[in-house]
Amino acid sequence: MNSFLSLIPRFAEAILVTLEVSLLAAFIGALGGFALNALRLRFPRWLAGPYRVYVWLVRGTPYLSQLVIVYFGLPVIGITMTAVQATIVSLAFYSAAYFAEIFRAGWASIPRGHMEAARAFGISRWSAFRSIEMPQAIAFAIPLLANQTILVIKESAVASIITVPELTMTASDIVASTYTYIAPYAMLIVCYWLLTQCIAVAARWAQALITPSRKTS
């Protein structure tokens, strides 16, 4: 038990790295996905092709390969990043495809009649996007967004390969230097579990906040 507790300081540092990398990546990825979906809605014709190719490429290849291309491949064309930067960039690029699909589903969940009513009442496309589509689409998407964020947190473990001092890297280090497996991996599990639980709780809270109370007055 003592050996387990003595791991806390190192894991506390590592959990902050994982948190920083994955939340930044998920945030940028979600913004990117939102923008992609908004563009797809606005310019359906010429954007449909590139959009599909992007989603197809990102979803069809392992994240590890994308990380490797960003970290080891981009320097070839003169773009050099630190390991943390490369992780954030690649993870954002990777998750944006999934986030875009989530927003697409959110928009697809809105009945056609809602937008027809908006048009019939002279509400501009932009106002309708903001005030009629977005609140409904986001409410629909919250559980999926939370789910994707959790996946991003867990996927960030791959960054241990390029020596980002995040949770998985820390656990591997301790294993390598102490030859004990149980305590560091138990701690690793607890840390990831804590992070993902925080996301789940935040999502539940956000859902409650934006879902109107169904008064039956």
Partner 1 sequence: MSSLPILELRAVGKSYGANRVLKGIDLAVTRGEIVSLIGPSGSGKTTALRCMNFLEAYDEGEVWIKGQLLGYRSAGRSERDRDSEKSVAEVRRPVSMVFQQFNLWPHMTVLGNVAAPLVLSKKTTKADAHKQALAALTRVGLAGKADAYPTSLSGGQQQRVGIARALAIEPEVMLLDEPTSALDPELVEEVLSVIRSLAQDGMTMVMVTHEMSFAAKISDHVVFMEAGQIVEAGPPEQIFGNTRTPRLQQFLKPWFDRSLTSVAGVA
DSSP one-letter string for 99-163: HHHHHHHHHHTS-HHHHHHHHHTT--HHHHIIIIIHHHHHHHHHHHHHHHHHHHHHHGGGGGGGT
* Cα–Cα dist 97/81, whole Å: 22
Token look-up 């294993």 returns: 175
Closest distance between partner 1 and the C-beta of residue 99, in Å? Answer: 21
Binding partner 1 by CB under 8 A: which of 47, 64, 128, 144? Answer: 128
Dihedral sign, Cα of residue 140, residue 156, residue 16, residue 75: negative
Instruction: Tell me if 207 contacts partner 1 by CB under 8 A.
Output: no
**122 φ, ψ to 5°?**
70, 20
Instruction: Tell me if 127 contacts partner 1 by CB under 8 A.
Output: yes
How far is CA 210 from each of CA 4, 138, 145, 150, 153, rounded to the nearest angstrom?
A: 41, 9, 14, 21, 24
C-beta of 161 vs 206, nearer to partner 1: 206
Query: Of 9-17, 23-31, 125-133, 144-152, which segment contacts partner 1 by CB under 8 A?
Result: 125-133
C-beta of 60 vs 212, nearer to partner 1: 212
Would you give the distance in Å from CA 80 to the centre of its chain? Answer: 23
Closest distance between partner 1 and the C-beta of residue 39, in Å? Answer: 18
Closest distance between partner 1 and the C-beta of residue 98, in Å? Answer: 25
C-beta of 60 vs 113, nearer to partner 1: 113
Instruction: Tell me if 114 contacts partner 1 by CB under 8 A.
Output: yes
Structure tokens at 82: 């630190």
Query: Of 62-70, 120-128, 162-170, 189-197, which segment contacts partner 1 by CB under 8 A?
Result: 120-128
Binding partner 1 by CB under 8 A: which of 124, 180, 197, 207? Answer: 124
Closest distance between partner 1 and the C-beta of residue 211, in Å? Answer: 8
Instruction: Tell me if 116 contacts partner 1 by CB under 8 A.
Output: yes
Cβ–Cβ < 8 Å for 167, 18: yes
Binding site for partner 1 (CB under 8 A): 111, 113-114, 116-125, 127-128, 131-132, 135-136, 139, 212, 214-217
